Structure 1
Amino acid sequence: MRVVFLHPDLGIGGAERLVVDAAVALDRKGHQVKVVTNHYDEKHCFKETRDLDIKQIKWFPRTIFGHMWALCAYIRLCLAAIYVCFNENFDVVFCDQVSAALLVFKIYSLFNSNFRTIFYCHFPDMLLTKRESSMKKLYRSVIDRIEEWSTGMADVICVNSEFTASVVRDTFKSLQNHQLRVIHPSLNTKFFDSIKVGSDVDDLISHAEYTFVSLNRFEVKKNVKLAIEAFIELKDLLPEELYKKCHLTIAGGYDSINAENIRYFGELKKYAEEHLEEAQCRFIRSPSDEVKVALLRSSRAVLYTPDREHFGIVPVEAMYCASPVIAVNTGGPLETIKNNETGFLVNQTAVEFAKCMAKLVENQDLYLKMKKKGPERVRKLFSFEAFSARLDRLVKEE
């Protein structure tokens, strides 16, 4: 089958990880795969993308004088969809994040119906934005209607978790009776196993006895500040000599042209400098796969701070690397983490996170048990092979 993936910005976030894994999976299954995107930078991407056939369509700006991000994203991906219709041969279109592009394919299907559309919904976009002014409310009301209407145009709608499925049905009333396929993102365990950590990477990794890692994009909604606050609270829960052996590493996706990334990174670094010793906290922007895996393998625990996260691939990556995960007890982590076996699911407070961190420092047996259970759970539930087989069946359906 000839499969085209249509994605707005092929960076290094969770949505991008899903798209790249799906493209690689179908390519290995013998399908002819092409990725069409509005933005791709080889210096800010997942390594596997370098082996994919990628086409950039940059016919429209990201913003209009710094505003209308959503509208511009809709227009940009619709233009990419027009390019696909007139320049690519395809049997299946796999679109995610921006459903407006499905409008283009719906119109195109009036003249050529020999293809199917799959839309992968990571989370309703209308729930990810604020409406501070009357003008913004009016603007978003139009965007929101387009999102719901166009999502329903897909031949198949997939979601990343049961949590997201319930949110989609509650949010998009017209889709309450529509079948939603839950396809959990997977982990390419062979790729993780193949990563070797060299001496250049080793220099970036903390060699403290107890290293806690936060791995998230530098966005406000990821609540990375909670990891710093929890590390501060940990000081009151451990003897001084033990706390001195602890270290916090804050790593995550950072785009130098993203204003929020720049601003939030600066705020986090300033906060850490004001409350922690410099030697106990390190920041790493856009870590390579080698650095990320080295961080996970060496961590005492990963601090996963987002609330109501749609799925969250980081806990799966962490568990496979034998690192316990401390996460907020909402959203996707409820489906990925086994509480008290592969990590902890707690309320979104610094004190609750710090209590679990202290347990993992002081209780070696508990740490070793979780360290062993994590990889077992990932192999059982989130293997790349099972993910590939589900996608292969999906694109072959009539």
Structure 2
Amino acid sequence: MWVLAQKKRPFLAAELGQEGPLDVRGELFARGSGGGVEGSNERAAVRRGGATPGRVAERALLSERYGPVYTLHLGPQRVVVLCGYQAVKEALVDQAEVFSGRGDLPVVFRFTQGNAAPFDPTFLISRAVSNVICSIVFGDRFDYQDGSFLTLVGLINQNFQLLSSPWGQMYNIFPGPMSCLPGPHNRIFENFEQLRQFVLERVKMHQESFDPNCPRDFIDCFLLKMEQENQDPLSYFHTETLVMTTHNLFFAGTETVSTTLRYGFLLLMKYPEIQAKVHAEIDQVIGRHRSPSVEDRSRMPYTDAVIHEVQRFGDVIPMGLPHAVTRDTHFRGFLLPEGTNVLPLLFSVHNDPAQFKDPATFDPTHFLDPSGGFRKHDAFMAFSAGGWASLRTLGELVSLPDERTNLSPGV
């Protein structure tokens, strides 16, 4: 798809009495954040395709000419793009409530309605991560050779590949026409349904053995809440919500965490001196005869910093998840009508030189203070920010202990 930039013209001028980004299908129009027009009377064309890191970088480069807030069209859908830490923070943190709406993602919307020889660790890591989620949700783990478990992980991996393919991206841009066409994108929804049935079977098994006085896992806690609110017609706690929430935990958690781990292994092989420091700290704090625990985290600042830097540098969700404004909102001189989709480029936050001294370099000191202690960074948004902080909390709950376990030698 070609994305074009042109000079501005009035946008909702009758309502606002002001000027803003031009609203033309198939084109990108931008105004500098200072109020003037950057690149007036010129037309810039950027050849675009899917949301690969290189193409996300192109969107970040567009902000250098057109400012940190600009509008683009993905097919018939208008999206406001936010670039850089300050713009993303101002939206997702400072105005968290109004930017807390869920943006359009048609594919998801449709559903919710040891040897020396080289080997590919992708599927093995996915199984390890999925089993961590299984222990939280189902209360136990699967054998790595269990047929049902292998099917679950295979469906999740296949769906992420399909979602990242041109077919999946075209569906998100043109959901109407694509829903009528044959093609591999239809497999996404078949896989989703198989995943839903898998989770539903596990829920039914829990219902048969449910003891409200002794909840075993996430499903039991949800069933207990359903029992407590079974007379409330407005309750959100019912079976279908439980099935979809459990499914989302698997689908969102497995691929993101396993991909982050693969980035971590690659980076530690590329930088053996960093790997050696991590191993030394693990040996000192944990040793080689027990598993890591969450309590170890505060005593392992360097390992914690490396994990955060892997997430920042790897940036596995560079475009973030689409948001939407919940009411008409004035933002940096623009009026964003209620329902406007907003795309916070997390890539631009994690690579903002005003926030990280050398963002193009893998450097754990980005998260260390001068004394070597772990330092939190406001510009770290691997799991979103602001009103969607629950996603970040859940992501950290699943990913950080899991990553630390996988980085531990001899465990």
TM-score (norm 2): 0.26
Question: If you compute each CA radius of gyration, which structure gives the higher value, 1 or 2?
Answer: 2
Q: Which has the higher strand share?
A: 1
TM-score (norm 1): 0.27
